[in-house]
Structure formats: C-alpha cells, structure tokens
Amino acid sequence: MHYDFNMPITDAQARSLRVNDTVTLNGTLFGIRDATQIHMFDRGRKTRFDMNGHAVVHTAPNVRWVGETPDTPSGYESVCIGTTTSARMERFTRPLMEQYGVRIVIGKGGLFAASQSAFSDLGGVYLAIIGGAAALETTWVEQIEEVDLDDLNPESLWKFRVKGFGPLRVAMDSHGGNLYTEVNKAAQGKRAAALASLGVKAN
C-alpha cells in the first residue's frame, strides 16, 4: 500500500502504516542529528519548532550561506542533503515522540527495541531511506525554511520544505513489525552454512 502524506499526520494515520508499505511526504520535514538531540534531551535545550505530528530525518546537510532572501528565508541554500545511520540515536526516539509529538522517524540502517516500543506505545513508524543516495534526496527538498539551534551547525535543527520526498519503505511500524529484525534473524540462521563454506564448524 502506498500513502502520500501532507505533513503533519494524525495518530490514526501513523497507526494505519504497516511494514513494507511505502510513503511519500510533502510539506514540512525536520532534520535532526546526534548533537541536536544530545543538546535537546541531555542538556535541557528546547526548540521553538512545533514538531507535533511531524517527521524527522536523521541528517546533517551540506549547506551554503547566502543570506536571508525570499527564496532562502533561513539564509541557507541546500548543497547536498542525505541521511545518516540511525542506530546512534536510538535512545532519543521516545523523548522525541513524548515531548514533541513526532510521529515519523526517517533514517537508514534501522532502530532497536526501545524505539520499537515507543512506536507501539505512542503511534509512530520508522521509514527506511536509501543511505548514500543524497544527490537524489536533495532533489526532493525545495527549501530550507528555518533553522534552530544553529550554533550546532551542521547538526542544527533544520526545517525543510519537501515535495515528493520518497517513496520510503515502512521498516518499523506501531504493530511490532520490523524488517531489520526479520532480516537479521534470517541472516543469523545462515551463519552456520556460511562458516561451513569456509571449512569452519559453527559453535
């Protein structure tokens, strides 16, 4: 099933998504990263942005400072925007959802059990983007509308305006579905055969 979302979305929309559905986002998307969340959740800083019902993407973009103009209201023009490995930011999923009402986390490589339970408890999903395909991803971003916590640049909190951001695959849903654990379990199951092909007996 494919969904086109104009952000933000509701609890019901988030909970309707199932693993292997695809989603394309339009409107607002927030860019967030390690340092952004360390400062927000470990060091007590707050953002002025309303992220309720919105999506965040794990990113720190390449940008060019051009000054504030009608086309570049944040003062920044995008150079290259792509997505980083999510695993490092596992412990921030729940506070992002509880304190800011975030519904969608976009990243690569997947998240773990703490995020999975946050998605179930609070109604959220993880969308897998293709890591390393940043030139393509950049074409889905129309503008950097605003920026907050910019002393952390490039790990600022970015507010992007996106059009046709996707399609992205639902890889973790609010019903316990998780593509990564399925693949990892299957891969562990093939470990003994892979070792046997190397003349090694699995222990």
Partner 1 sequence: MKIDLKQVEEAAKTLYIRACKLLPPDIKTGFARLDKGETDATAKSVLGTMIKNITVAEANDNLLCQDTGIPIYNVTIGRGVDVDGYALKQAIATGCARATKEHPLRSSVVHPVTRKNEHTSCGRLVPVINIDFIPDDATLSIEMIPKGSGSENNSWLKMAIPADGIEAVKTFVVDCVLDAGGKTCPPTIVGVGVGGTADLCVHLSKVAATRPLGTACEDPEGAKLEAELTKAVNMLGVGPQGLGGDSTSFAVHVETAATHITMNPVAVNMQCHSARRARATWTPKGLDYGY
Choices 45-53, 98-106, 114-122, 126-134; region in contact with partner 1 by CB under 8 A: 126-134
Q: How far is the CB of 12 from partner 1 (least distance, A)?
A: 27
Give the one residue of 87, 95, 101, 150 binding partner 1; rule: CB under 8 A.
87
Closer CB to partner 1, 27 or 179, in the complex: 179
Q: How far is the CB of 115 from partner 1 (least distance, A)?
A: 14
Sequence-ordered list of residues with C-beta below 8 angstroms from that of 25, at least 6 positions apart, any chain: 5, 7, 55, 104, 162, 165, 166, 168
Distance CA 126, CA 42 (A): 23
* Residues 10-39 within binding reach of partner 1 (CB under 8 A): 35
The token duo for 36 is 């952004």
Sequence-ordered list of residues with C-beta below 8 angstroms from that of 185, at least 6 positions apart, any chain: none
Note whether 117 binds partner 1 by CB under 8 A. Answer: no
> Residues 128-157 vs partner 1: string with x where CB under 8 A?
x-xxxxxxxxxx-------------xx---
Note whether 191 binds partner 1 by CB under 8 A. Answer: yes
Give the one residue of 28, 37, 59, 174 binding partner 1; rule: CB under 8 A.
59
Give the one residue of 10, 42, 46, 79 binding partner 1; rule: CB under 8 A.
79
Binding site for partner 1 (CB under 8 A): 35, 59-64, 79-85, 87-88, 108-110, 128, 130-139, 153-154, 169, 171, 179-180, 182-184, 186-188, 190-191, 193-195, 197-200
